[in-house]
Amino acid sequence: MYHSLMPTSNNWFAGVEIADVTASLAYAKSLGDVWQDSFTAVGAYARAQPVLETVTPSANTWIWTLPDHFPPGKVLRVTVDGGSLSQGGTALVWDSHGYYQVALDAKSLTWKP
C-alpha cells in the first residue's frame, strides 16, 4: 500500500517513486502466486472468509449476512470435495485453477452431491 506516488507536490506521507512501484508490481507478478489487488478487494475477501466459515448449512444450503458497508460485487473462492455448487438456481463454473467463485452479494450457496 502506498500513500503517495511520486513525483507530485502532494506528498502526504512516505512518497514512493512510480518507477519503484511498477518494479515491485512486476516482481510480484513474476512470482506467479501473489495476489495483487485493491485494498478494498483484499479487505473484502479477508472479511468475507470468516463470515462463510461460521455459517452452518441447512439442507446443503448456506445463507449469510454481509457486514454493514460491505462493497458490492465481491467474490470468495471456495473448493469442495465432489459435487457442484449453485447460487440462485444457477450452477457455478469450476475454475481451471481449482475453485468456484462464489458471489457474496447472493448471500446463499447450495451444494449438490
pLDDT of residue 83: 92
> Which H/E stretch holds residue 102?
strand 99-103
Compute the mean pLDDT over every residue in the chain, rounded to the nearest whole number: 91
pLDDT tens string 8-50: 788 778 888 889 989 999 999 999 888 888 889 999 999 999 9
User: Residue 4 is placed in which grid cell?
Assistant: 503517495
Q: How confident is the model at residue 58 (pLDDT cuts 50, 70, 90)?
A: very high
**Residue 3 confidence (pLDDT):** 75
- How far is Cα 57 from Cα 11, in angstroms, rounded to an integer? 49
Dihedrals phi, psi of 38, to nearest 5 degrees: -75, 160
Has residue 85 got a pLDDT over 90? Answer: yes
Q: What is the pLDDT of residue 14?
A: 82
Q: Mean pLDDT, to the nearest integer, of 51-69?
A: 94
Higher-scoring residue by pLDDT: 8, 86: 86
